[in-house]
Structure 1
């Protein structure tokens, strides 16, 4: 649906292959739609996980693929290394029969721990960035809409790469309809469409170092000034709701960035 919205097609009626995506990305390179399509393609990909089954690598278009880094940095690398030792009889420190039989369970475990480590790293980075930006509340920043949810927009800042939330409640009194397929919010009265990949100017409204959350106010979309809704006083229900939105957005943000 996102591809159709910019007048392109993607493997309609066919099995999706790597070549289809490459043609799509080449076709939008250097255009106003490039960032939106790149984000959408990345988000559509399944998160990588470890398994003894060989499913190849879709992105690299390889029918056989084993993930390995050198020098060895992770437990997954050590398993591959020891599997090679066992298969080629290069020594006595290859995988045992018991370890080979448990590879499915081991793959599930290290996939889980890798995601947990990534989330911890990102949460830590978010908190440091929020602490650094705490003195810049009220400043304006350029960025890109990097995610759309029924409760608001996620914006990624050019300057720091930090993600923050524009609560839907801060967009004024107009009702915005959320379309998960096209990743858009559409104003029922104005018809204004806010979507993935659009360039925006935002004002930092709040930075919460403890949670790593950032709250933004939307000022411009693709160079067009947005109507300015009346600001809520600190501690009012709308402001308290926005703080709750920060907390709720972390899980969605982790899922979006982890792909």
Structure 2
């Protein structure tokens, strides 16, 4: 299932959501060469991505993993490693990774920004991303595999959306081999299904040795989602919520929004 849009108008232009999308796109183009040069892409992932073992010291210095046929990513002790939980949020591994995250951020982020305000939403987004990174490091402390992507922070926006707008209809694209169909579903169905899938995919990691791991950081998604659901009320601004309610009431849409 792929979210395309929702029946949830915003009161204000989602400036911060747009800036975040511009930021991750700029990083993809400027720092990662838009993925056209495999070596540049791999070096950006290795140098600016988050390597759990570099933060915990749970793997010996010099431990390496191959990223390309000629490039290894080596566990080191560079000071830059300590900002990697933040820098990794703005990097991606492929066009599909970038576009998928961008779509989820746009569909679920703009309304969350609408009830928080721009500055609060930015702080909320970054905190959820850091929480997601912390959960991933906790689950895979000895992993030498670099992780990148905005999905942890975006998962936070999704958790917040579940709390704020559980009954809003989200248009989901279903792909059945060669057939395509758009089906509107309540947000709670979409988001709880997505969350449950992340937990299911992460269960094998619970049985893995703590010094191993890698691949998709599904527990980061879980951590970001839970952080967003828990933090949303602390970041919500009452006056912005009241403004939204007044607008929706005027349009006769309040019954499906809250």
Q: TM-score, normalised by structure 2?
A: 0.19
Report 1 or 2 for greater relative contact order, CA contacts < 8 Å, sequence distance ≥ 6: 2
Per the normalisation by structure 1, the TM-score is 0.18
Of Structure 1 and Structure 2, which has the larger fraction of its residues in strand? 1
